[in-house]
Amino acid sequence: MAAPASPLVQRILDGDPRALARACTLVENRSAQAADLLKSAFPHTGHAFTVGITGSPGAGKSTLTSALISELRRAGQRVAVVAVDPSSPFSGGAILGDRIRMACHHDDAGVFIRSMATRGALGGLAPTTHDLALLLDAAGFDWILIETVGVGQDEIDVARLAPATAVVLAPGMGDDVQAIKAGILEIADVFVLNKADQPGAARLEQDMHEWPRPLVKTVATTADGLPELLAALETLRAALPPHRTELHWAARLRQMFAERAVARLDANQVDAAARRIAGRECDPYTIIEEWLKV
Amino acid sequence: MAAPASPLVQRILDGDPRALARACTLVENRSAQAADLLKSAFPHTGHAFTVGITGSPGAGKSTLTSALISELRRAGQRVAVVAVDPSSPFSGGAILGDRIRMACHHDDAGVFIRSMATRGALGGLAPTTHDLALLLDAAGFDWILIETVGVGQDEIDVARLAPATAVVLAPGMGDDVQAIKAGILEIADVFVLNKADQPGAARLEQDMHEWPRPLVKTVATTADGLPELLAALETLRAALPPHRTELHWAARLRQMFAERAVARLDANQVDAAARRIAGRECDPYTIIEEWLKV
């Protein structure tokens, strides 16, 4: 752990935003240099408080994240955001909207925003997101916000793997959405009841009483409730049990291992096995056992 | 591949629904017998046509699946369904609704319905679902419908890994949902425009013109368009390129390998490594490399 930082990491430690952006790209693309880069950066991490922000589509996560950035900046904190886009390159509207909302922080050197596509290598979303968070941590940001849509195990994993997780709710979501939402209620360290000025907010607040987690009411568009949200997050940070960090790393190690193990499979070997299985010459379970023996 | 079937598999081949249900439970729980069971069943698979049915929350997938079952039964086909619940045990409403909709097939021996929770082992959703589909294939069903909500990579993987995938759309979904939906448009072999009698259907149909896939209009609640949907699926089945099956198996092998590799990690070893990482005594990347060397 005492090895000197690589030149690129040294520039990140020195606060060079272009070096940071370049490193993020290397990590996101899983380039050959990424592993050495992350190893070199790792000893310089551990300062930032990383918060996962998730919730149903339409709950106002992006607007809330933007308002939270403003609140943190007022408190003199440097903030980095990893925004996980839920959609493919084919979608445009929602992402463009988010970008416009974020643009008001564009000229602030104390804010760094990185958008990430969710598509890509098998199971790679959560590992890559948290690798990016480590780079941002090494770069000296005080807070790292990971914003992700709260639907689907992969997206939920992204938020769950953060040391603290805020789940954003809003009144007026349909029944089906409620059903999905159930899966993310359990990962919340704090609930944010956004759009608290809209019809149904009082009832939603009442529904949430059964969950033993603090709830903060906000109207992200007007920044109402943002000081209270920041206070709740500060409380979480101060009270974070040490084993939470260890659980985080145990979960991350399993994900990283799965991803790297698959990446090392020989593509020709996989294709040949797939042909034999399709022809019912052998079964997939025996093949996997053979591969695991190597 | 010439080994005689295990006693439980033999009962499945003989059409015993209780044996099938028991085998499904063993596979879903990843019991010790599951691997031998699946190996023994595998040579008897390859007859069924497996269709993934996915789409946005609220598009009416469950009602459509139920209507498709009726249509297939009228055509003399035996149908099995694996319904992947998107939510935790904490949610109730939506799942109960689905169960009521499915109950009309309860007394029909030509229909087998299995509900699966999405929660559980890391990355295990798609492998387990498709292991279940293999059991249903061995049991002699002609069609296997895998119904899953189309949000999140894990859920989308379930549908994508089916040899054919129907993506269900409906008018009147919000913008944010549209953005999520984009990720699943690409995996469609056929689009189902459900709730085709509702406002906005014509416009949605027009929007879909850019996608080079057949589109069938349905009103699942009245079974309107169901014969056309079945015809479209039959066309798909007849035209399925052989390499599609090989691609399916290559993707499944990668998923199975990731899942089994992680399952073999020693929990104490993982926890010890997590503690060292949390204390910044070592970095996770070096640890993963060491584990992969073994």
B193 within 8 A of A101, measured Cβ to Cβ: no
A127, burial (CB in 10 Å: exposed 0-12, middle 13-18, buried 19+): buried
Q: What is the dihedral of CA B178, B182, B186, B191, to 10 degrees?
A: 0
Interval B23-57: pLDDT, tens: 998 998 888 888 899 999 999 999 999 999 988 77
First-residue to last-residue Cα distance in chain B: 31
Residues 6+ apart with CB under 8 A from B260: A288, A292
A125 within 8 A of A154, measured Cβ to Cβ: yes
Per the CB < 8 Å rule, is B183 touching A275? Answer: no
Closest residue in A to B156 (Cα) is A152
ipTM for the whole complex: 0.79
What's the CATH code of the domain at B56? 3.40.50.300
Are A126 and A216 part of one and the same domain? yes
Does residue A257 belong to any structural domain of this protein?
A: no
Are A220 and A94 part of one and the same domain? yes
pLDDT at A96: 42
Instruction: Name chain B contacts of A120, Cβ cutoff 8 Å.
Output: none
DSSP assignment letter at B146: E
Domain that holds residue B288: 264-293
Are A147 and A272 part of one and the same domain? no
Are A36 and A54 part of one and the same domain? no
Amino acid identity, position B98: D
DSSP A84-148: EE-S-TT--HHHHHHHHHHGGGTT-TTEEEEEEES-SSTT-HHHHHHHHHHHHHHTT-SEEEEEE
In B152-225, where does DSSP find H-type helix?
A: 153-160, 175-185, 201-207
In the numeric block, the tokens 């992680």 are attached to B262
Interval B193-242: pLDDT, tens: 999 999 989 988 988 888 889 999 999 999 999 999 999 999 999 988 77
Are B94 and B111 part of one and the same domain? yes
Does residue A248 belong to any structural domain of this protein?
A: no
DSSP assignment letter at B101: H
pLDDT at position A98 over 50: no
Does residue A60 belong to any structural domain of this protein?
A: yes
Euclidean distance between CA atoms A141 and A111, whole angstroms: 8
Amino acid identity, position A77: Q
Chain A contacts in chain B segment 81-120 (CB below 8 A)? 86-88, 90-91, 93-95, 118-119
pLDDT at A153: 62
Are A104 and A207 part of one and the same domain? yes
Chain B contacts in chain A segment 184-213 (CB below 8 A)? 185-186
Q: Mean pLDDT over residues B273-286, rounded?
A: 93
pLDDT at A40: 95
Are B269 and B202 part of one and the same domain? no
Are A237 and A288 part of one and the same domain? no
Domain count, chain A: 3
Are B135 and B200 part of one and the same domain? yes
Band the pLDDT of A118: cuts 50, 70, 90: low
pLDDT at A181: 56
Does residue B250 belong to any structural domain of this protein?
A: no
B142, burial (CB in 10 Å: exposed 0-12, middle 13-18, buried 19+): middle
B9/A contact by beta carbon, under 8 A: no
pLDDT at A150: 67
Give the distance, in angstroms, between the CA of residue B82 and the centroid of all CA atoms in the same chain.
6
pLDDT at position B294 over 70: no
pLDDT at A183: 63
In the numeric block, the tokens 């055509």 are attached to B75
Interval A100-110: pLDDT, tens: 445 556 667 78
Euclidean distance between CA atoms B199 and B218, whole angstroms: 14
Does residue B252 belong to any structural domain of this protein?
A: no
Strands (E), B92-212: 111-117, 143-149, 164-169, 190-193
Amino acid identity, position B173: M
B287/A contact by beta carbon, under 8 A: yes
pLDDT at B241: 78
Euclidean distance between CA atoms A204 and A172, whole angstroms: 9
CA distance B270 to chain A (A): 6
In the numeric block, the tokens 């990491």 are attached to A9
Are B186 and B167 part of one and the same domain? yes
The token duo for A72 is 């943190």
Euclidean distance between CA atoms A14 and A10, whole angstroms: 6
Euclidean distance between CA atoms B146 and A93, whole angstroms: 30
Band the pLDDT of A41: cuts 50, 70, 90: very high
In the numeric block, the tokens 């209507």 are attached to B67
| Range name among A85-89, A196-200, B149-153, B253-257 with the lowest pLDDT average | A85-89
Interval B85-137: pLDDT, tens: 554 332 233 344 444 445 556 667 789 988 876 554 334 677 788 899 999 99
Nearest Cα neighbor of B80 from B108, B103, B112, B50 is B112
Per the CB < 8 Å rule, is B254 touching A122? Answer: yes
pLDDT, chain A, mean: 83
Does residue B5 belong to any structural domain of this protein?
A: yes
pLDDT at A117: 64
pTM summary value: 0.72
A240 within 8 A of B215, measured Cβ to Cβ: no
pLDDT at A102: 53
pLDDT at B283: 95
pLDDT at B150: 67
Are B221 and B105 part of one and the same domain? yes
pLDDT at A194: 95
Are B5 and B134 part of one and the same domain? no
pLDDT at position A112 over 70: yes
- Residue B18 sits at φ, ψ, to 5 deg, of -70, -35
Q: Pick from A151, A178, A261: which is nearest to B151 by CB? A: A151
pLDDT, chain B, mean: 83
Interval A210-264: pLDDT, tens: 888 999 999 999 999 999 999 999 999 998 877 778 888 998 899 889 888 998 8
DSSP assignment letter at B4: P
Q: Mean pLDDT over residues A68-86, rounded?
A: 89
pLDDT at B96: 42
Does residue B256 belong to any structural domain of this protein?
A: no
Band the pLDDT of A161: cuts 50, 70, 90: confident
Does residue B110 belong to any structural domain of this protein?
A: yes
